[in-house]
Chain A
Amino acid sequence: MRAIIPASVAGVIFGAGLAMSDMVNPARVLGFLDIAGAWDPTLAFVMGAAVVASAIGYAFSRRLRAPVFGKSFFIPENRRLDSQIIGGAALFGIGWGLVGFCPGPAITGLIYGMWQPWLFVAAMVAGMALQRVISTQRTSDRAAKADA
């Protein structure tokens, strides 16, 4: 797997960016989300710069026939909006707003020797597993109905 080293380099840079920009600090994130309080614009600068850089990378990737260390690009082609993506995003947003952690900063924050990111990440794994159990069950229910 030649892609492992580039993937870890990308992870290191990504984590460095989250730390440098304070996105690992939930108080900073909540300050952005609190538009009725003492609003903190930091997240807007971070997100804006990140989107511009990723858009440039995406534009470049369109000119490549294949990634440098891989056979093909895996880019989601689904453009349909459905209740799952909106419902899922809403649930995620509520959780994000409750404490100010989203997945990247919470995992990155495991390094700082505090218990809170560990507890959050453990609960996040449980939430992910629960979603998988429910979706697998619904798929098999549907298959059972189709068989009947």
Chain B
Amino acid sequence: MLEPLSPVFAIGGGLLIGGAAALLLMLTGRIAGVSGMFATVMRIADAGPPWKLATAFILGLPIGAAITSLLVRRPDIEVKSSMPLLIAAGLLVGFGTRLGNGCTSGHGVCGIGRLSPRSIAATLTFMAAAIATVFITRHVLGA
């Protein structure tokens, strides 16, 4: 069990995430969907933002984390998953986010923010699937 995170960091971080999405939309007209942007960067998207714009946004993500480590806090990262599990999960997340046209950022943060029925349905679906998966792996299989 992790130490509880101060709600200041949780809410502050959330405001930064949503504020960044708002900024991107107002300044460039684009939705801050990480899976779609990343597919554009990797040149495996058929539609989407210009490559340079997507690459600028995606490169910003780890840079923002590095700045946070220097100025605010460095989060502890705890990954217990095995190598095969990481590969399987990555394949599912990559395949699923492209088939479903978005992930936690595009559907969750941006889509719910503009009350898109597709995004609300997608978010409820991936939340339910993730909760069910954790329940099965932790409490049924006991891993």
- State the A residues within 8 Å of B (CB): 1, 3-28, 30-31, 33-38, 40, 42, 45-58, 60-61, 64, 66-76, 78-81, 84-104, 106-112, 114, 116-117, 119-132, 135
A107 engages B24 (CB within 8 Å): no
B15 engages A89 (CB within 8 Å): no
9 more CB-based (< 8 A) A-B contacts, given A70-B28, A104-B34: A1-B50, A11-B56, A20-B13, A26-B81, A52-B15, A80-B118, A90-B100, A95-B96, A97-B131
Q: How far, in Å, is B58 (CB) from chain A's closest CB? A: 6
Chain A residues within an 8 Å CB radius of B42: 125, 128-129
Known: A30-B134, A51-B113, A93-B129. A107 touches B29 (CB 8 A): no
Contact size range, B: 35 or more
Known: A78-B118, A87-B99. A47 touches B108 (CB 8 A): yes
Interface secondary structure of A, over-half rule: helix
B108's nearest neighbour on chain A, judged by CB, is: A47
- State the B residues within 8 Å of A (CB): 1-2, 4-5, 7, 9-32, 34-35, 38-39, 42, 44-46, 49-50, 52-54, 56-69, 72-81, 83, 85-101, 103-105, 107-110, 112-114, 116-118, 121-123, 125-135, 137-139
